[in-house]
Amino acid sequence: MARKSIIGSGGRFIPAVLAAFFLLGAAAPPAAAAGPPDGVLSLMPVPAGVAAGEGRFRVDEGLTIGGPAPASGRAFRAAARFMSRLAGRTGLFLRQDFLAAQDPAGDGGVRYAFERAGALAPNEDESYSLTVEPARVALAAKTDIGVLRGLETLLQLLSADEAGYYFPCVSVVDRPRFTWRGLLIDAGRHFQPVDVVKRNLDAMAAVKMNVLHWHLTEDQGFRVESKVFPKLHQLGSDGMFYTQAQVREVVEYAADRRIRVMPEFDLPGHSTSWFVAYPQYSSAPGSYAIERRFGVFGPAFNPADERVYPFLDAFFKEMAGLFPDPYVHIGGDEVEGRQWDANPEIQAFKRKNGIADNAALQAYFNKRLLKLLAKHGKKAVGWDEIFQPDLPKDTVIHSWRGPQSLVEAARKGYRGILSNGYYIDLCQSAAFHYLNDPVPADSPLDESQKALVLGGEATMWAELVTPETIDSRIWPRTAAIAERLWSPASVRDVDDVYRRLGRISIELEELGLLHIKNRGLLLRRLAGGPAIEPLELLAQAVEPLEGYKRHGQAAYTSLSPLTRFVDACAPESLEAWDFSRAVDRYLASRDPVLGAALGRALTAWKDNHPRVLALLAASPALREIEPLSLGLARSCEAGLEALSVLSKGEGRPAAWVEAKTEVLTDAGRTAAHAELAVVEPVAKLVRACAGAVK
């Protein structure tokens, strides 16, 4: 049967059979009919201050954009990109030759102004003011960075009615809450080509993130060309590395979007790939090979070997010339320590120098390393294991094990950034990330200490992603993290952020991201043909195992295929979220219209099982999902029974509830490295039936 698709809640394409449910189930903005236009309601991140005005600025082919002369520089190039994206969204043949010259100064069109070029450094001014009036759009900022941020807001304001496209009249005064709003991309465990990095830089700019943390060395690969020590990338990368020309290209591309690029060279641990070329600098003898497994491994630099420091000095001198950012991330996490314990020379070195334990030995190594970085004009960022006594105060503590290290660092006068709670590779919900705050309301820090918390970073560790799937693991959930780091702390409405996630997801796709498109690619590959509608419908109810549970399902290595059904499923199903919230509203209201929509959704999922089975016969790779499909069908049967009971105002005895709960428990078991995301909301319907039988 042919499938018709419409835009569901938040702009998600969904099968027509579920459309009625999702349109009803989506969280509607309060007083939408009388409130601000949709463009204002959909801004992400939410600005610091926004006030809706009266009227509309109409967008037509005669639209012009202009700024200060000369027509060059980053603000001008951002204006050119703005016009190109605007033309792409509207289909308008804009007449201004914006690539060659700007419109002369005047009162009409879009006008931007700034006082100076902004520096690519923490604490630079990114504020802007944006005023949309019926005849004019004015964007003003202290720096050109503010202009870039304001243009993204203006593009998000684009709306449409029966007369065409327009920007709603509005006044925005905006600035970021935190100065450090980053995304870590791990190219060590699975290499991510330049095009992956660039499209994610575009997405970062769209949601006002400003730091790319580029994780370049790992046990599984050394990913940057060194002309001083060429064996590093020649022997430690499987031929997959960034040339220095490519690094400069990425750095320049990011700078044009006012995004800093901070490299990470992880040491003294997580360093196997260094020793493939230079085993003499490790803490244990022998030859080394690139690690294919994932986890924490023994190889580590030898802090007692004086030859290590000239080697690192020369290496970081070269890298300092390649990466202009004031910071270098030195890693420092998860030093396993067994090589140090087994090395007699290291043990003798510790005794001679009064070094009590391996933590103190790592602190010694870090102090030597930080002096080398300072020599080359760099300051260090490191994971919270480096937070040891006598650490230089200009070192930034990167908290991954828990927020307490951030608090302790600030109390001792250190700046810090938070990633604990922003590990997007763990397939946790956008709500979980969104409510995770670098400086929560109950923070024990005083105001001066809070100012030392620079912000946070979403971390895209790459054990289980490839260039085909990485975008889907980053977006759109990272947009929620971007809002947490930009918007005022008082902006915390979880339902509203989900309402806007769908729209921003579609808008990000225009930048070349594959988070939506590649689900179909992966499913068509598995099905061996274009008939994937049953798989798409099942995928809406399925999510990958959360946390590190997926690693317990198979012996994943850097060579394992990441092309299975679980890889096509979103880390968090926005459709399942809509379903769950609709169940909550139904149980609170017993609205028969919403109940009928829930029934249609449950029926569609239940009836999908035979269609899935028909595809499995021709695809051995898909047969592992049969328990998921069967479990979904049985869950939906229980849900439909519960809806019938509730719609009649009846109840069921405890034995009935217990029996249905057993069905749901069985249906919810892990399969194909994934789990059903709709079992718990169905269980709510079942539990609500408990009571006297009428």
Question: Can you tell me whether residue 106 is helix, strand or coil?
Answer: coil
Output the pLDDT for position 71: 67
Q: What is the pLDDT of residue 178?
A: 98
> What is residue 319's predicted lDDT score, i.e. its pLDDT?
98
pLDDT of residue 32: 37
Percent of the chain with pLDDT over 90: 90
404: Cβ–Cβ under 8 A, 6 or more apart, which residues? none
Per-residue pLDDT band for 72 (boundaries 50, 70, 90) equals: confident
Please state, rounded to an integer, the average pLDDT across all residues of the chain.
Answer: 93
Q: 586, 627 in Cβ contact below 8 A?
A: no
Catalytic residue among 334, 468, 546, 626: 334
Q: For residue 536, what pLDDT is reported?
A: 98
139 bridge partner residues: 112, 130
What residues form DSSP beta bridges with 418? 399, 456
Compute the average pLDDT of residues 562-576: 98
Report pLDDT for 107: 65
DSSP characters over 108-133: SEEEEEEEEPPPSSTT----EEEEEE
**Interacting residues of 70 by C-beta distance below 8 A, sequence separation 6+:** none
pTM comes to: 0.94
680 is catalytic: no
The predicted structure's pLDDT at residue 256: 97
pLDDT at 68: 85
- The residue type at 544: P
Please check the confidence at residue 402 and state whether its pLDDT lies above 50.
Answer: yes
The average pLDDT across 639-668 equals 96
pLDDT at 103: 53
What pLDDT is recorded for position 273?
98
Instruction: Quote the pLDDT of residue 4.
Output: 26
pLDDT value, residue 96: 83
Mean of pLDDT values over 542-556: 97
* Closest C-alpha to 155, from 210, 216, 215, 112: 112
Condensed to tens digits (0 to 9), the pLDDT of residues 404-436 reads: 999 999 999 999 999 999 999 999 999 999 999
Q: What is the DSSP string of 447-480?
A: HHHHTTEEEEEEEE--TT--TTTHHHHHTTHHHH
The pLDDT score that the predictor gives to residue 485 is: 98
How far apart are alpha carbons 219 and 275 in whole angstroms? 9
- Cα–Cα distance for residue pair 222/242, rounded to 1 Å: 9
pLDDT tens readout for residues 4-56: 222 233 333 334 334 434 433 343 333 333 456 677 889 999 999 999 999 99
Q: For residue range 493-511, what is the model confidence (pLDDT) as tens digits? A: 999 999 999 999 999 999 9
- Measured between alpha carbons, how far is 149 from 252 in angstroms, rounded to an integer? 18
**pLDDT band at 286; cut points 50, 70, 90:** confident
CB 691 within 8 A of CB 648: no
Q: What kind of fold does domain 49-174 have according to CATH?
A: Chitobiase; domain 2 (3.30.379)
- pLDDT of amino acid 11: 33
pLDDT value of residue 28: 39
Q: What are the pLDDT digits (tens) for 171-221?
A: 999 999 999 999 999 999 999 999 999 999 999 999 999 999 999 999 999
Q: What is the mean pLDDT of residues 445-461?
A: 98
Domain spans of the chain? 49-174, 517-545+563-687
Give CA–CA dist 368/602, Å, rounded. 62
Q: What is the pLDDT of residue 645?
A: 97
Cβ–Cβ < 8 Å for 122, 53: no
Q: pLDDT tens digits, residue range 93-138? A: 998 876 555 555 556 799 999 999 999 999 999 999 999 999 999 9
3-state secondary structure of 433: helix
